[in-house]
Amino acid sequence: MDEIAEQLNERLAVDLDDGFTELVRIHATAVRGFLFRVSGSAVDADDLAQDTFLRAYTALRGYSPARRRDLRPRAWLMTIAANVWRNHVRTSVRRPVSAATIEDSAEMWPDGSPGPEERASTADDRGRLVSALTELPEKPRVAVVLRHVVGMSYGEIAEVQGCPVGTVKAQVSRGLGNLRQLLEAKDPSSKEVLK
């Protein structure tokens, strides 16, 4: 894994277009997965992930080869993804769906609520967990998804969130506590299962 990561940085430094294809190959699924779980909608996740990579490419073009070689791609991409998602939430709050034209509303789904495919599966445990995740506040939600869904280290998450490692650990543990409460509220019988 480390060898592949080194190779990726080297390719980014030597030839940006070639390195970028490798960046997409390795990280596209994780970036989309992160956005899917924080936004709760597959359509949003697809659009936001494409936006994330477009921003990443534009930024990389302005970087020197030395800076591209020292990049930590996953944490860096997740930082962009988290910003793209926050911007998206902010614009959808400012431009609510009711005020938008019909064309706009087809492009922009109301954020925060689970999409149709998510709602269809809320019957099972997995669905309950997914919808509970979208009810967490913004910062703990990002921290919990990065730590336990994507599987990043606390150090990397601290880089993404721009705060000390201790703060991230607190966010994750508080987030997990809130999730347990939400799940119990939804289904009291699950108390024994999700200790």
Residue ranges that bind another protein, judged by CB under 8 A: 4, 17-18, 20-22, 24-25, 28-30, 32-33, 36-37, 42, 46, 49-50, 53-54, 57, 125-126, 129-130, 133, 144, 147-151, 153-155, 176, 179-180, 183, 193-195
Min dist CB 96 to another protein, Å, is: 27
Min dist CB 27 to another protein, Å, is: 10
Closer residue to another protein, CB minimum distance, 36 or 76: 36
Closer residue to another protein, CB minimum distance, 5 or 97: 5
Q: What is the CA radius of gyration of the chain?
A: 18
Determine which helix (DSSP H) or strand (DSSP E) holds 60, and give its type and residue range. helix 42-62
| Residue type for position 45 | A
Closer residue to another protein, CB minimum distance, 29 or 83: 29
Length of the chain: 195
Distance between CA atoms of residues 8 and 19, nearest Å: 6
84, 93, 139, 140: which is closest to 112 by C-alpha? 93
Closer residue to another protein, CB minimum distance, 21 or 96: 21
Which tokens belong to 35? 């956005």
Min dist CB 92 to another protein, Å, is: 20
Which tokens belong to 142? 């990002």
